[in-house]
Chain A
Amino acid sequence: MKFNSIEFWLFFSFVIVSYRFLPQKFQNRLLLVAGYVFYSSWDWRFLPLLWISTVVDYILSRILHRSSEHSTRVVVLAGSIAVNLGVLGIFKYYDFFTLEIVRIANYLGADFAPCTLGLALPVGISFYSLQKLGYLLDVYYSRNEPPANIFDFALYTCFFPIILSGPIERSTQLMPQILAPRAIKQSDISEALYHIFSGLFRKVVLADNLAPIVNIIFSTDPKALSGPECLAGMYLYTFQIYFDFSGYSHIAQGVAKLMGFDVMWNFKMPYFASTPSEFWNRWHISLSSWIRDYLYIPLGGNRLGKVRTLTNLTITMLLVGLWHGAAWNFVVWGMFHGCLLVAYRIIELWGCKRNTASIPPSGIGNCLKVFILFNLIAVGWLLFRSDSILQASVMLWRGLTDFSTTNLFYYSLISGAVYVLPMIIFEAWIFLSGDLLIFSRKKWYVQGLVYGLVTIFLMIFQPVGSSEFIYFRF
């Protein structure tokens, strides 16, 4: 049941109507059942895994909460981290590392045959594992306590708007909402409609129509592509992945909002960032803030000197890359972003030494910084999307050295402009206004007109065979 399918909206209509008539305790049970139905519509085989991990984590969190002895708490925490990361590791990384170790061993003269498991990746495991880990760490640090009822914890684990691709919620934010009565105001409905229409438009009209152009470019031997075609593929993918993922997150936010839940913003116009640090405060915010709070800061953050800070940045970005998938291009992509963060940090420190950091950037200066960073981010996406480092390198090289234009390039350029420019202008308006929800505050007839047009566009521009949300693969 994809968010952009009629099936999902029929399912959600049934859920929301039932939800409105139930008292709060039964609302939570309904949402739990709905969560399992939703999850099993993707792959029912992994429901037992979800159930078992929910029970295990709940028991461990109760032990953590009750125990006052430090050594016991450390052992239980270590055990719970081992269980969660272990499950994630087996399904996601075991085969990758096994093959790489065997490859290295064979290169060194040994004669091993790889013993891989060939397991399918459970949908959403990368997201719900981090969400549960965050909860356990919050209990350890006494930031939160386990709910009295395992079913409420199960709902925290399997809240259907967010289970498949986030946002990765914090227990300190989501659990209180699960445990308390929820009221829905008129402004909530307005906001929810904005998120839902915005999300569907981004996914169905923008991302799904950019996808075929991107796919044909990346499935062609890069030596057979012209330079401008390579660049078109890179930039169009940059927008495809953004519209796809932000679309999903918006729909998740809107659906949750209609049930009285506030789910965190996952994207805040990331391509208007002027530094990598700002980019990661705007892109996949739930993941980047999770990594910052549960990994970067415990490693020391920026409190242990410049060298340690830069090392910590590199390690965390490497792990962010690896989190996305068991493949070297993701690792290289993570390293690339780590290097960007380090480089910008060094430039910042150098600027401080020369007292230039106190000079406020001019409008043109800021635009230039945004432009430069955008292009660097796009190069990162080229690494991310390519099947291999070699493909990315050849495409980048051709993009920089070959300037021959083709029919496919002109088609990609104009199609891209048609799909991308209006949304960029809309986002620029939001960015400059400083109010993420500025549109939802417009008059009802303005919203109605725009949503009516969006509905027409959703019908007309729905491609035949819409593609899966990109982040479902992670």
Chain B
Amino acid sequence: MILAIVLAGEVTLRASMPVVSGTLKHIKEIPYAAEMLSKSEGMRILFLGNSMINNGIDVKIIRGELEKNSMSIINVAKINPDGTDLWDWYFLYKNYFFLQSNPPDLIVLGFRSDFVDDRRQPNPSRLAANFSGLNDLPELIDFGMTGRGEITEYLLASSICLYAHREAIRNRLMDWIVPYYRESTAKIGANAWKAQSEAGGEVQGEYSYRRLEGLLRLVRSKCGMVVLVAMPTRNKYELKKEILLTTEKSNAVLMDLRVVRGLSEANFIDAVHLNSAGAEVLSRELGERLTYILSSKVNAPKHSMPAR
């Protein structure tokens, strides 16, 4: 009887997933977007990231900048599921784009420093639900998802949809019922993160970027190119020397857009997301720089751009 009720819930959820959250709807469209990009003629560019990319990058402006400078036909896919980081992006690329007959020629990955370093903890439920399968488990363990609880959560989330998408379901339900739900849970989340950081203290030791190296290697194996874009935020963050070394070693480009001329605090709607005016400024800058990189692809410097 208990199993029957749970199965009924599972079936109901699978049938109504796009309704549960906008992010899930976006994730469901990824296979279609990957296929369309693969079938298109001309240069294929994938913008990859999370809501920072969603808010901060206007692909129409970037396409316009590239086409203005007589670049070949530009085809763009923008994949930016909320709350994701390199754990998710690696498997997203590997499972949806890497195996396409024509994978992307250029991947523009927008990040803030902590999204891509190896200290970041995985979200097993999100990975299992959306981006990876059981056959990816050995690689996940190799990347550092070694906790018993994490592996158990991953296995459960791989099989039970209700469990895998519990955050989205809970947020949707509570958002309907509880006033100021999103605003308050964001505040509570920030408080919990602060308490955890204070309890854990400053993390010692060197930064490492094994997962990033893995992604860069994967893209390079299909003759693709990666441009890592350090996104602007309201509070400045550091770019560790280790990430510079990693991108140099992997022949990727690190584009430092933490400070962009024309962007001010007024262009941010919160600590990390730009408003539409800010997105326009950033996109034009990014478009110009991408034009420069693509037109001088062979000789492009690894992590510095001409002064403006």
Contacts and interface: CB of A to CB of B under 8 A. Distances in A.
A455 B5 contact: yes
A455 B180 CA distance: 28
Nearest to A416: B178
B152 A444 contact: no
Where chain B touches its partner, the secondary structure class is helix
Contact of A456 (B6, B149, B187, B188): B6
Given A212-B192, A408-B180, A456 B162 contact: yes
Contacts of B166: 459-462
A350 B132 CA distance: 72
A440 to B, nearest CB: 15
B1 A407 contact: no
B1 A452 contact: yes
Contacts of A445: 1
Interface stretch (A115-123, A176-184, A213-221): A213-221
Interface string A452-474: 11011001111011000000000
B272 to A, nearest CB: 20
B180 A407 contact: yes
Given A411-B179, A448-B5, A460-B162, A212 B188 contact: yes
A414 interface: yes
Nearest to A466: B149
A5 B149 contact: yes
Q: How large is the interface on B (under 10, 10 to 19, 20 to 34, 35 or more residues)?
A: 20 to 34
Contacts of A464: 167
Given A7-B149, A216-B191, A418-B174, A452 B6 contact: yes
A117 to B, nearest CB: 22
B4 interface: yes
Interface string B171-194: 001100111110110011001100
A207 to B, nearest CB: 15
B134 interface: no
B2 A452 contact: yes
Contact of B188 (A6, A213, A453): A213
A415 interface: yes
Interface centre among A7, A219, A444, A460, by most chain B C-beta atoms within 10 angstroms, is A460
Given A213-B188, A460-B162, A449 B5 contact: yes
A410 interface: yes
B156 interface: yes
Contacts of A462: 166
A414 B179 contact: yes
A12 interface: no
Interface string B128-166: 000000000000000000001100110010001011001
Nearest to A415: B178
B77 interface: no
Nearest to A456: B9
Contacts of A414: 177-179
Contacts of A418: 174, 177-178
A418 to B, nearest CB: 6
Nearest to B125: A464
Contacts of A261: none
A186 to B, nearest CB: 16
Contact of A215 (B4, B169, B173, B195): B195
A94 interface: no
B188 A455 contact: no
A449 to B, nearest CB: 6
A217 to B, nearest CB: 10
Where chain A touches its partner, the secondary structure class is helix
Contacts of B179: 407, 410-411, 414
Contact of B156 (A6, A448, A465): A6
B270 to A, nearest CB: 16
Contacts of B192: 212, 215-216, 465
Contacts of A215: 188, 191-192, 195
B241 interface: no
B170 interface: yes
B160 A455 contact: no
Interface string B1-18: 111111001000000000
A265 interface: no
B169 A460 contact: yes
A130 to B, nearest CB: 30
A411 B152 contact: no
Contact of A415 (B6, B152, B174, B187): B174
Interface string A199-225: 000000000000011011001000000
A216 B188 contact: yes
A451 interface: yes
A411 B3 CA distance: 34
B149 A408 contact: no
A411 B169 contact: no
A461 B162 CA distance: 10
Contacts of B6: 452, 455-456
Contacts of B153: 6
Nearest to B164: A459
B178 A7 contact: no
Q: Which 7 A-B pairs have the closest CB atoms?
A: A452-B5, A448-B1, A411-B184, A407-B180, A452-B2, A459-B163, A216-B191
Interface of B: 1-6, 9, 148-149, 152-153, 156, 160, 162-163, 166-167, 169-170, 173-174, 177-181, 183-184, 187-188, 191-192, 195
12 contacts: A7-B149, A215-B188, A216-B191, A407-B179, A411-B179, A411-B181, A414-B179, A418-B177, A448-B5, A452-B1, A452-B4, A459-B160
Given A415-B174, A445-B1, A464-B167, 17 more contacts: A5-B149, A7-B149, A212-B192, A216-B191, A407-B179, A408-B187, A410-B179, A411-B179, A411-B183, A415-B178, A418-B174, A418-B177, A418-B178, A448-B1, A448-B5, A449-B1, A455-B5
